[in-house]
Amino acid sequence: MSDEVSVLIVDDSALMRNLIGRMVEATPGLVVTEKAMNGLFALQKIPRVNPDVIVLDLEMPEMNGIEFLKERKKQGITIPVVILSSIAARGAEITMEALALGASDFIQKPSGSISEDIHTVKDTLVSMLLGYGGQYRRSQGKKLLTPSEYPKKDESKDRPKISSASPEPAAFPAQIRKPGKTEIIAIGISTGGPDALRTVFAKLDANLTVPILVVQHMPPGFTNEFAKSLDRVCPLDVKEAEDGDAVQPGRILIAQGNKHLEVEKKGFSPVVRLSDDPLVSGHRPSADVLFASVAMTYTNHALGVIMTGMGRDGAQQLGTIYKEGGMTLGQDEASAVVYGMPRVAWELGHVMEQVSLENMARKICDIAKTPR
């Protein structure tokens, strides 16, 4: 039996099943175990093939993605699900419903339900499948191949760069001043973020008074519904940030898709500013932009947190928060779906402590409530 992460592809388009299957099969560490044209067939195949992760379209005949997720929940199936779907007018609302029903993450098909350019989201998709599928395999006590054990495949040069060696941090940069009382918390997060933020926000203390600003890489049009979905599980108020919003105690503001999020102090009343400035670190919103702004405005009264995600967005400017005297945390490798952003920050010496997803809320609250 293969020790690679096995993938069940569920999509009503034969072309899409084929294209997605090719991307999966070309990725070392992944293998297609079965394909299904709708949720009904997927449910019939799951007991036989026992996949590690499921790629799920939402719009399908007989049993659509939402109906499948409801039945999956009813049957107690815990195999992680990544939504890969075209987004209609009600797409954001439906996608957030899918996440609320237990889907782990989502990717937007680039050009509608039949996206022949699906390869443009390949890196994101296969990183999610390796991350969520790998976590599931470990939770089931199954062997998981390390990258050095991956069998050779035709497109191995294109696979996401995943290191099996735990990185060593660089020396901490010098701090200008000692940490003071925490007055702001800034979080940068990407691939794997929707699931991770739900976990963290559900565990935050209801009496936490320090405001939180979040950059989650997400397409425009989704962050409002995403904020609403987080608000339903979080004891604090969560909303999508609007230009000029006050930074208030006990309030969490989520950056809008395709808008940078910064903070400025007007007298004693800090507010957020949104902008269409160019992409930074390949993203808008960018965690680097948020962290730099927080460091400049709050100096040693900030806590910066970098969590699961591809690439390096936020890693550099998290160091600015630290240099100014702020506190910094990074998600650890074992609990991150994609240990990219927090890995780079750790290797640069910009993370004071690595924390598991399970313990992140407690650590954030402890730091925020510690008098200095």
Query: What is the percent of the chain where pLDDT is above 70?
Result: 92
Please report the sign of the dihedral spanned by the C-alpha atoms of residue 367, residue 370, residue 371, residue 372. Answer: negative
pLDDT 10s digits, 317-336: 999 999 999 999 999 999 99
> Does the annotation mark 190 as catalytic?
yes
pLDDT 10s digits, 142-190: 887 766 676 666 544 444 444 445 567 777 778 889 999 999 999 999 9
pLDDT 10s digits, 88-125: 546 788 999 999 999 999 998 876 677 777 888 899 99
pLDDT 10s digits, 58-79: 999 999 999 999 999 999 999 9
pLDDT 10s digits, 257-275: 999 999 998 777 899 999 9
Token pair belonging to 109? 């098909």
Amino acid (one-letter) located at 125: L
Query: Which CATH architecture does the domain made up of 5-158 adopt?
Result: 3-Layer(aba) Sandwich (3.40)
The boundaries of every CATH 3.40.50.2300 domain in the chain are 5-158
C-alpha 329/C-alpha 336 separation (Å) is 13
- Other CB atoms within a 10 A radius of the CB of residue 250 amount to 16
pLDDT 10s digits, 185-231: 999 999 999 999 999 999 999 999 999 999 999 988 899 999 999 99
Name the catalytic one among 104, 115, 127, 190: 190
C-alpha 77/C-alpha 280 separation (Å) is 40
184-369 has which CATH code?
Answer: 3.40.50.180
Read off the pTM.
0.89
> Does the annotation mark 111 as catalytic?
no
Phi, psi for residue 249 in degrees, rounded to 5: -60, 140
> Does the annotation mark 313 as catalytic?
yes
Name the catalytic one among 12, 52, 105, 313: 313
Amino acid (one-letter) located at 92: A
Beta strands across the sheet bearing 5-10: 30-36, 5-10, 53-56, 81-85, 105-108
Contact at 8 Å (CB) between 356 and 333?
Answer: no
